[in-house]
Structure 1
């Protein structure tokens, strides 16, 4: 019996050993996966030769590599913004950061190390916002995410969608009263991501304070004031800055667009010149000698003409108290593209 028992014992040992070996391998694999996932979720720099410094700009946070031993990708909310590496040390990358944005820098080596993972929450890590609307909500209030309390009230019967706020072109709009900003405003940038579903005269956004007035609107190509459209029917974005009380006024056009398509329109004013951009492209510039102050704002409706309601959808709106140059506008447009 001892002999038979010994033989059975020796026969069982390889099987048990194999089972134990498989179990150990599985445990090691689980540990490795867990460590890898934990490592990728870490904040900071796991590499001693990767370091960054930050600087606030009117547009948002500027990230500058001051030491790089590897190639990496800079992302904002998961969207690829730029590539950095040893050759780009000292070169800034501008991020049009808004409250709640996530900044990541991921190495492009086989380990895919996360070099930076942080959220832009504080005033010194975002742009110079007056108002910021993501149109991601519900109920009867459009929340201002800038921290300045410039919430809007929904008028008519707009519909919240998965991507924004749908306006029916017949009484739907958002009313923002008594806009406040952290500083006195004498220059600004307004940026709107939207879709217009009808060719007619309609308002994207209008601001009014006494005799100070600026607006982004859409006009049909066959409108009597429009002479810039080519290639058939459609509409053009129009950027107007005027002072009705002082007799100063002007408007510039953005070129023909098709209804049913998504666009980002940006208007900026530096205190003397105002410029219109469509999808990141500079379209026109003019001068305006008047003053600008904060007041009331309609999104999707004109103050004076009740028929100029937007028929379409708005996805995002950013109002800054600083003017932007062309490079700034390209960054803003990229961040806001629907």
Structure 2
């Protein structure tokens, strides 16, 4: 009997052990779940997978979500360009990328997952640049960040500022000679972010190659060449976009509406081989037709290129010159980035 009871006691030990093990597992599970819930409450639950495809366009890199299980924002240099969600799959987002730009896509849930972090540093990730100037330099040269070597030389005595390059309106400008581009150029887009401090006739940028010439300039509203319908009143100034042949045979001139000095603006001119269009702060201002060749040559920033004069009194903080024409969507994106 004692032997049988002893056997029963020994036989019961594994059962009790198993019960204790199960209890321990349950306790650990509860602890782990509690920790997990606390962690998720603090950081947000993991977001679903997101995948993207990229495609180069003339204006820059296009990012297209192919799977999107969360809400997210697309940023270029920490500036929000677009918002994405599950319904954004297959819809491209244009990023007017330039060398050195950073693309990030960040989920907007509690976790703030970084879905994309990409540095733009290769030719197949940027727009179709001829020249790209950020005006954040020093010394006597304006560096071309496009990689095409179209550096400029400062003339007069311009001042580097926290925003860009300040020109005094009486001899300061930047000279760029013998511009090179990766392809033969038959169309172009030029975009300038600037501020002027004086109402007078002055040049933003002018290009000349042989008999062909294009320029963005600023004219007072009371200038005899400016139609009265362009400006509401006689004060202020208007951006002007010219595409012409040199020697006084002007082929085209369009106006951008009245602006006040002392404020920053982005002016864009584009030419597709037959039609040239002017945009001011992202909005189309006017368009015209022109039949002439476009090629690379020399360029002045802040001064007339054919004679000494029309110097800019103000400041320039960015200039982009592309060897392609852009549509209104491309220009809206460029403007948005250059306004920041």
TM-score by length of 2: 0.85
Give yes or no for contact 1:211–1:246 (8 Å, CA) kept in 2. no
Query: Secondary structure at the residue paired with 1:148?
Result: coil
Give yes or no for contact 1:137–1:160 (8 Å, CA) kept in 2. yes
Aligned positions, number: 296
- Counterpart of 2:310 in structure 1 is 308
TM-score by length of 1: 0.85
What pairs up with 1:81-96 in 2 under 5 angstroms? 81-96=81-96
The separation in 1 between residues aligned to 2:234 and 2:263, in whole angstroms, is 16
Query: Secondary structure at the residue paired with 2:331?
Result: helix
- Counterpart of 1:114 in structure 2 is 114
- Counterpart of 1:24 in structure 2 is none
The separation in 2 between residues aligned to 1:246 and 1:196, in whole angstroms, is 27
CA-CA distance at 1:246 after TM superposition: 9.5
CA-CA distance at 1:201 after TM superposition: 0.2
Stretches of structure 1 lacking an aligned partner (at least 5 in a row): 1-31, 37-45
Moved over 4 A (4+): none
1:142-189 CA-to-partner distances (Å, cap 9, x unmatched) read: 000000000000000000001100000000000000000000000000
- Counterpart of 2:206 in structure 1 is 206
What pairs up with 1:21-170 in 2 under 5 angstroms? 49-170=49-170
The separation in 1 between residues aligned to 2:175 and 2:250, in whole angstroms, is 26
The separation in 2 between residues aligned to 1:117 and 1:198, in whole angstroms, is 43
Give yes or no for contact 1:204–1:217 (8 Å, CA) kept in 2. yes
User: Mean alpha-carbon deviation: is it higher for 53-62 or for 299-308?
Assistant: 299-308
Stretches of structure 2 lacking an aligned partner (at least 5 in a row): 1-38
**Superposition RMSD on alpha carbons, in Å?**
1.6
1:190-231 CA-to-partner distances (Å, cap 9, x unmatched) read: 000000100000000000011010000000000000011114
The separation in 2 between residues aligned to 1:234 and 1:247, in whole angstroms, is 28
Indicate yes or no: 2:211 matched with 1:223: no
The separation in 1 between residues aligned to 2:185 and 2:250, in whole angstroms, is 19
Give yes or no for contact 1:235–1:256 (8 Å, CA) kept in 2. yes
The one of 295, 318, 321 equivalent to 1:293 is 295
The separation in 2 between residues aligned to 1:195 and 1:222, in whole angstroms, is 20
The separation in 2 between residues aligned to 1:270 and 1:278, in whole angstroms, is 18
Give yes or no for contact 1:248–1:288 (8 Å, CA) kept in 2. no
The separation in 2 between residues aligned to 1:304 and 1:62, in whole angstroms, is 39
Query: Secondary structure at the residue paired with 1:241?
Result: strand
The structure number with the bigger radius of gyration is 2
Going from structure 1 to structure 2, the CA distance change for 1:248 and 1:171 (only over 3 Å counts) comes to closer
The separation in 2 between residues aligned to 1:246 and 1:300, in whole angstroms, is 21
Indicate yes or no: 2:254 matched with 1:252: yes
Give yes or no for contact 2:47–2:70 (8 Å, CA) kept in 1. no
The separation in 2 between residues aligned to 1:310 and 1:333, in whole angstroms, is 21
Query: Secondary structure at the residue paired with 1:312?
Result: strand
Query: Secondary structure at the residue paired with 1:260?
Result: coil
